[in-house]
Amino acid sequence: MAKESVDALIEGGKASAAPPLGPALGPMGVNIGDVVAKINEKTQAFKGMQVPVTVTIDTTTKEFEISVGTPPASALIKKEAGIAKGSGRPSESYVADLKIEQVIKIAQMKSDNLLGKNAINKVREIVGTCASMGVEVEGVKGTEALKRIAAGEFDKKIESGKTELSQEELKEQEEEQKQMQAELEEKREEMEIKAKEILAAMGKKDRSLIVARMREEGVFDEIINEIIPEEVKEPAEGGEAAPAEAAPKEE
């Protein structure tokens, strides 16, 4: 009983008979419409995201099986939170806040790839990833959310598999997200002003000394490098210019 496989990258819920699937499946003799419908059913939760799909076909019976890979947990968190990237300083600067239902949803999507032996432990893994990205859970940082999970505060929701938010909760989350973004922008502006003041006062000193002072004042490296970009070393004869050695980053 021979089997052949077709691999493709598909946008969740939007598979079609067009390339790359159609031309690859055509010679296999399977009902392409049935395959497409099944893929869309299995990838519905990944709308707006590219997911790897493998169609395995029995060349004799024309029966098929579909396996769907999943994007990294970090990509699912960013999609659910509506952000383009995580925080550069996740222990200090928070870029979004997820409800526990959204964390449960991500844990379900990544279930086969997580190490946890039960739903609660799998949710804990996703919360850990949230913490590393500067994404809060239920209004608190990841470490605090883990304590609340350990205390059993979310057991009922996790065990029930509840993943949907009410319209009121979605609206509340949207408003909270706007507030967090506004606070981040305000904090960034304050840091830029502080960095420029330090630069004006220390402008003739070595860059390393200015960087050290800015870090002492809590200015993020991202802003430091915008205010005083790293110098470029002069190229050796016949060679290309190389960036100057960066000042060591804080651990």
Residue 54 bridge partners (DSSP): 7, 67
Tokens 């220390």 belong to residue: 202
Q: Residue 71 has what pLDDT?
A: 84
What is the CATH classification number for the domain harbouring 113? 1.10.10.250
Tell me, yes or no, whether 227 lies in a domain: no
Please tell me the predicted confidence (pLDDT) of residue 151. Answer: 95
Tens digit of each residue's pLDDT (9 = 90 or more) over 185-222: 888 888 899 999 998 898 788 888 999 999 888 888 88
Report whether pLDDT(78) > 80. yes
Q: How many helices (H) and strands (E) does the chain have?
A: 10, 7
Domain that holds residue 150: 73-165
The pLDDT assigned to 145 comes to 95
The HSE-up count of residue 3 (CA atoms within 13 Å, CB side) is 11
pLDDT, residue 1, reads 60
Sign of CA dihedral 142, 144, 146, 152: negative
Q: Which tens digits make up the pLDDT trace of 143-177?
A: 999 999 999 999 999 998 878 877 887 788 778 77
> Is residue 172 domain-resident?
no
Mean pLDDT on 4-29:
90
Q: 6 is written with which tokens?
A: 């077709």
pLDDT higher than 80, residue 53: yes
